[in-house]
Structure 1
Amino acid sequence: MLFVKKYLLAILVGCGILLFTSFSNTFPDRPETGFWAMEGTLVTHYFEDKTDSLSGPELFELQDKNGLPIWFGRHIFKDVCISGECKMIRLWLFWDGAGNYLGMQVPEEEPLTKSDHTEFEPEDYEKLENILGDTSSILKTLKQEDLIIVPDSIDPYEVDGYTAATQPTLAEVVVKDAVYTCHTLWHTVYGPVQAEIFRILENNLNNEFLSKMFESKKPQYISWAIKSVENHPEYHAGFYPEIMEYISSENPALANQALGYFRSELLEDTAIQLQLVQKMEDADTDMSIKYEILWKFIGFGDIHQNAVADLLKLFAGQKIGVGAYNLILRLVSPGHIHENEQIAQLLTQLSEDENGYVRNLTKRKLDEK
C-alpha cells in the first residue's frame, strides 16, 4: 500500500511539473521592448475567453499619467490550422485606448511561419499589419473552410495549409502561404478581446473620461468620444460644442463624423443651427462640409429665420459661392421674406446683382411670395 501511495505521489508530482512547464511556455515573461517599453501604469484585467483558452487570461492596460489608456494587450497562443498539425503561433496583440488595432509583437525566437514552415519575411509582417488594420477585410465574413480549395485526391479531414491551395480571390489580400494565420489573427483582433476592451471603456464613461478623450487630440480617441456621446444623450449638452469644433478638422473622417452627429432631432435647437452656419463661415471648414451642412438643413426643412439671414449674409459677403446660393434659396420660405425685414432687404439687394444667374434666381424666389 505504501508503494502504491509513493507511486501515485510520483505521478502527481510529474504531472505537476509537466503542467507547470506547459503553463510557463504558454504564458512567458513579458518582453522589455516594443510596446512593453512604453512608460505608464499597468493595469491587469482578467476575463474568460471561451473561444481561446490557450491564450493568456489577462488583458493588460497601460495608462498614462492622466489615467487615459495608451494600449491594451494580450498574449496570444493558438493553432492556426484545421488539421491541428501546424506550428502554434505565439505573439502579443495590442489595441489602442479606443479599442482599435494598434500592432503586434512577435518573439524573435519564435517567428511566424507559413504553411511550408518557412519564416515570415519583413514584407510579410508588413502585409499582415495592413490586413489586421483593415476593419472591413474580406476575411470578416469568411469561415476557415472558405479559405482554400481542396483537391479531389485529398481527404477533407486530412487537409492542411500545405496540401490545399488558397482561394484565388484571396491571393492578393492575404500573406502568401499563410492564409490561415491571416484569418485566425484577424478574427482574434476583432473578436472577444476587442469586445472586452469596449466593455471596459464603457464602464469608464463619465464626464471626466470623455473630457480626457477629447483633450487627447488623437483622432481615434475623439471618434470614440463622439460615438459615446451619441449613444448617451445625457452627455450631449456638455459636449456638443466640443463636437462642433471638429467639423473644421483637417481629418476628413473626423469632420464627417462630427457633422453626422448633428442629426435632424438636434437641429430643432436654433442655437445649433446658428452654430452650424458659423462653421460654414470658418475658413478652415472644407467646402464639401459646407455643402453637407446645407443639405442637412434642406433635409430638416424648418430652418430658423435668423439662420437663413446669416446664410444670405455669407453669400452677400462673398464667403460662399454661387452654387451654394442656389441651395440657400431652397431654405428661404415666403414666411421668412414676409416676417424678416433683413432677409427681404438682402434678397432685394441680390435681385440687382451684376451676376445674371444670381439676379434670376433671386427674382424667382421673390416672386414666390
Structure 2
Amino acid sequence: MFHKNKYSALKLFTVILFVLTGLVTNAQNPAPTYKEIVHDIAIIHEGLSFTEKQKGKLIELQDAKGLAFQYYMDVESVICLDHKCKIVQVRLFWDKLGFYNRYEMAKGIVLEKTDGISFNAADYKKLDNILGDRDSSLKEYYQNQRHLASHGSEGLIELDGATGATSGIDENSIVKGAAWTSCTLWHWANGEIFEVIRKQTAKELSTDALVQSLHQEDEKYRSFIINELITRKVYDPTSVAVVLQEIGNVPSLSRLLMDYIEKSPSDVYFDAIKKLYVSSDKSYRVIFLSSLLQFVKPDSAAFFEWATNQLVTVDSFQELQLLFRILDKQKPLSSLAIENAIQLLGHSQFLIARASYYFLQNKVVTESQKAQLDLFQKKNGERL
C-alpha cells in the first residue's frame, strides 16, 4: 500500500511538473501576436526593366486587430565580379506606409564589392542610409546604364560590357565599389512597392478610422490619410470639419490640404475656404485666396460677394492684391465693391491705399467717388 501511494504521488508530481514546465515555456516563448499574410505581386523594377514586371511575395504582418504594421519581402541583390554577377537574397522591411525600414540577410551571407572584398560595418550602415533616402539620385540611374544580357545557369548574370565603373552616379548615393548592388536594392526598396504597400494598408482601414486618426502627430501618416480621403472622395460635413481642424494650420501639409479641398464639390470648397480664411494667419490666407482665384468664374456671385466683404477689414497688401484680382473677374463690378475700395483710399498703409487707387482706374464710379479719387491723386501725385 505504501509503495502504491508513493508511486501515485510520484506520478502526480511528474504531471504537475510537466504542466508547470509547459507554462514556463509558453511564458518564455509566447505565441506570436501577429499573423503573416502573403501577397503575390508583380511590379516594375526600373533598375532592371521598364516593361517587364518582377514577381515576388510580399509578406504583410498584421496586429491582433487585423491591421498592417509592417511588411517584408525577399529580393535579389546583384554582386558583380569579373564581368559576371551572382545573386544574393536580401530581406527588405517596410513600415505600413511603404517607407523602407531596414534590411536583413541570412546568417553567413555577405555582400561584396566588384573587387571581391566583403562589405565592412561602415558599408552596411551606408547601404542602410542609401535605401532610406527616397530622393536618392539612384532614382534616375536605370537599367540601361548597364545592360543585362543573359541569365547564367547557376544564378549568374553576365553584363554586356560591365566594368564596375560608376560613371554618372553620385558617389554619395552608392557604396563605393558596389554601385550595382546599391542601385538594385534601392529600386526594390523605393520603387512601385511603395504604392503597393500603401494601397494594401488602406484597404484594411475604414473611412471613419482614417478620419479619427488625423489627430496623430506623425505627418507621414496624416499625409497618407488625406491622400486616401481624396481617393475615396470623402467630403461629408463631419469629415471635412475634422480635416480643417486637425491640419488647417500645419504649414508642411498646406499644399496637400488645398489638394483635398480643391477636389471637393464647389459648395464644400467655398465653405472650407471661408472657414480657413477666418481662422488662419496672413501667410495662410494668401494661399487660400490664390486657390480661390483659380476657381472663381464670372458667374460666381457668392465668391464675389464674399471677396467684396473682405475689403472692409483687409490689412495685408498681398491679400488685397489677390482680392482685387478676384473682383476683376466680376462683370460688371458691383457698386458695393467700388465703394469698399474707395474707403481704402484712407487706409493707414499707403501700399493698400495706392493699390486701391489703381484698382479703381477705368471703373465706373459716381461723381462723389471720382472726386475722392482726384483728391487722392492730388495729395499723393509724387508717390503714385
Q: Considering the TM-score relative to the shorter chain, is it more than 0.5?
A: yes
> Identity of aligned pairs, percent?
19
Q: Which residue in 2 is equivalent to 1:112?
A: 111
**Alpha-carbon distance change, 121 to 255 in structure 1, aligned in 2, over 3 angstroms:** farther
Q: Aligned Cα RMSD in Å?
A: 3.7
Q: Which residue in 2 is equivalent to 1:27?
A: none
CA contact (8 A) 2:60 2:68 kept: no
**Alpha-carbon distance change, 353 to 194 in structure 1, aligned in 2, over 3 angstroms:** closer
Distance 2:42 2:277 in 1: 48
CA contact (8 A) 1:273 1:307 kept: no
SS at match of 1:214: coil
Distance 1:130 1:286 in 2: 39
Distance 1:105 1:357 in 2: 62
Q: Which residue in 1 is equivalent to 2:321?
A: 326
CA contact (8 A) 1:44 1:61 kept: yes
**Alpha-carbon distance change, 261 to 92 in structure 1, aligned in 2, over 3 angstroms:** same
CA contact (8 A) 1:61 1:69 kept: yes
Larger radius of gyration: 2
Q: Which residue in 1 is equivalent to 2:355?
A: 361
CA contact (8 A) 1:277 1:310 kept: no
Letter in 1 for 2:341: L
SS at match of 1:112: coil
Deviations 1:49-88 (Å, cap 9, x if unpaired)? Answer: 59666x7x3513243x665432212233554449895554
Letter in 2 for 1:255: S
CA shift, 1:309, in A, is 4.2
Distance 1:325 1:356 in 2: 12
SS at match of 2:235: helix
Letter in 2 for 1:41: Y
CA contact (8 A) 1:92 1:105 kept: yes
Match of 2:35 among 22, 37, 42: 42
Point out where structure 1 has 5 or more consecutive residues left out of the alignment.
1-38, 149-155
Q: Which residue in 2 is equivalent to 1:11?
A: none
Point out where structure 2 has 5 or more consecutive residues left out of the alignment.
1-31, 44-52, 148-156, 365-384
Distance 2:82 2:248 in 1: 51
Q: Which residue in 2 is equivalent to 1:349?
A: 343
Residues 196-215 of structure 1: pairs in structure 2 closer than 5 A: 196-204=196-204, 206-211=206-211, 213-215=213-215
Q: Which residue in 2 is equivalent to 1:35?
A: none
CA shift, 1:262, in A, is 2.6
Name the one with the larger strand percent. Answer: 2
Which sits farther off after the overlay, 349-358 or 327-336? 327-336
Match of 1:300 among 290, 295, 298: 295
Distance 2:167 2:293 in 1: 48
User: Higher relative contact order at CA 8 Å, sep ≥6: structure 1 or structure 2?
Assistant: 2
Distance 1:220 1:143 in 2: 27
1:312 matched to 2:311? The reply is yes
Q: TM-score, normalised by structure 2?
A: 0.65
Q: Which residue in 2 is equivalent to 1:268?
A: 266
Count of matched residue pairs: 306
Distance 2:196 2:81 in 1: 26
Distance 2:61 2:228 in 1: 20
Residues 1-369 of structure 1: pairs in structure 2 closer than 5 A: 41-47=34-40, 49=42, 57=57, 59-63=59-63, 67-81=66-80, 86=85, 88-106=87-105, 109-144=108-143, 146-147=145-146, 157=158, 163-191=163-191, 193-194=193-194, 196-204=196-204, 206-211=206-211, 213-233=213-233, 235-237=234-236, 239-245=239-245, 246-250=247-251, 252=252, 254-263=253-262, 266=264, 268-269=266-267, 272-283=269-280, 287=283, 289-302=284-297, 304-309=303-308, 311-315=310-314, 318=315, 321-332=316-327, 333=330, 337-338=334-335, 340=336, 346-366=340-360, 368-369=363-364
**Alpha-carbon distance change, 211 to 59 in structure 1, aligned in 2, over 3 angstroms:** same
CA shift, 1:325, in A, is 1.5
Letter in 2 for 1:140: K
Distance 1:40 1:307 in 2: 55
Distance 2:167 2:76 in 1: 26
SS at match of 2:173: coil
